[in-house]
Structure 1
Amino acid sequence: MFVAPNWIEGWLIQFGIFVVLPLIIAVITGLIVKRKRGSKGLGIVSVGLSFALLLIIMMPIGNVFWHYSYEVPSVQEKIITVQEWQPRPGINYDNQGTMVIDNAGQLMLITTENEGFLNDENFLFQKFNTRDIFNDLKINGTYKIKYYGWRNGFNSGFPNILSVEKVINETGTENNRYGEYFGVKFAR
């Protein structure tokens, strides 16, 4: 079974991908330029320029590496009981005390075990049915879900639901009412 890295391991991995690897390549490039040109100043400038260029190149490569090395292996199944849907972290009331929620991707599912799951569209996993999953996961229902990712307190990350695999128990549930979740909400 996949074991998610803790926040320090995740930070070290990302720091290595985004900073250490480009820095090593930039220093090697600077040493080569210094030897070929015989100029210490030109070597330092080439280190800075190549480091900046490599950072720009490594950001997308590092994100894909992170996805394929950590998120894809972490696709797991779990049985959950839905407690509620609530606005996801970062969606707050404005100065007038209103909040606008206009799609299911702005909501977070909370289970009876106090776990949070996002319900985002994801191109890499070919998931484009966020509203369908919202409709399928009813309050007080028990479901087997497939998800990827893990709770990461370092950058406030939550696992993302990919699909509802099986309905375990829907006794005492009712369909989610859109008016309770979507539209303009007022601060209480």
Structure 2
Amino acid sequence: MTFVPPSWWMLGLTKIGYLLIPLILGVLLALYGLMKDNILIVIIGVIIVIAGFGLASMAWHNNYEVPSVQEKIITVSDYQIKPNIGKNKQGMIVVDSADDLLLVTTDGESFLNEENFWFGKFNTRDLFNQLKCNGTYKIQYYGWREPFYSTFPNILTVEEVIDESNATNNNFNKYSGTNAAVGGWWF
């Protein structure tokens, strides 16, 4: 069965619902506790907010991320700076980890390489080094491209090396620092 991603408006409603419900319940309970001078009720309200966000994150993972896991064969073209990377005080973009880059394929698709707590993925630098430019790989990924929210699928693992005969090792220094203008993107 193929995963069908939600529309942009349904995605927004779902995210808002997952976040607003625990926030509203916890804040209302905490305010009630403040009005009644009951610190225990205030603490319970704060715990509901914190636990609610954790449960919402887990529910999002189980309902959307896990069902969207797929495999694909890709050929790496290059890496680009993600469009949402912030600037430092001097107005320069600072790339300080592999999380700040998008992998671009020869088919024009883009993939994130970000950490994910729920999948237990904490090896973005290792994957950056493994997915060499001009190399062809079978990857496992989750997520989908949603232009409205500027989201991209995220690589989980490299399942198989298909062809590295023309591949070149990645040089993180090419992409990192405060003056990295990669792939024609200069923010």
TM-score band by shorter chain is: 0.7 to 0.9
- Structure 1 unaligned residues grouped into runs of 5+: 27-41, 46-52
Q: Is the 8 A contact 1:82 1:112 kept in 2?
A: yes
Q: Deviations over 1:23-78 (max 9, x none)?
A: 8x89xxxxxxxxxxxxxxx9xx9xxxxxxx59836433222111111101111111
- Structure 2 unaligned residues grouped into runs of 5+: 27-31, 36-44
Between the two proteins, the alignment pairs up a number of residues equal to 168
Q: Does 1:182 align with 2:183?
A: no
Q: TM-score, normalised by structure 2?
A: 0.74
Of all paired residues, the percent bearing the same amino acid is 48
Matched with 2:14 is 13
CA distance in 2 between counterparts of 1:148 and 1:75 reads: 4
1:165 Cα deviation from its structure 2 partner: 0.7
Q: TM-score, normalised by structure 1?
A: 0.74
**RMSD over aligned Cα atoms:** 3.1
Secondary structure in 2 aligned to 1:121?
A: coil
- Alignment partner for residue 74 of structure 1, among 46, 68, 73? 68
CA distance in 2 between counterparts of 1:95 and 1:20 reads: 36
1:153 Cα deviation from its structure 2 partner: 2.4
CA distance in 2 between counterparts of 1:107 and 1:186 reads: 11
Richer in strand (by share): 1
Q: Deviations over 1:66-122 (max 9, x none)?
A: 111110111111111111111112225546453322211111111122221111111
Larger Rg: 1
Secondary structure in 2 aligned to 1:144?
A: strand
The worse-fitting range, judged by mean Cα deviation, of 178-187 and 108-117 is 178-187
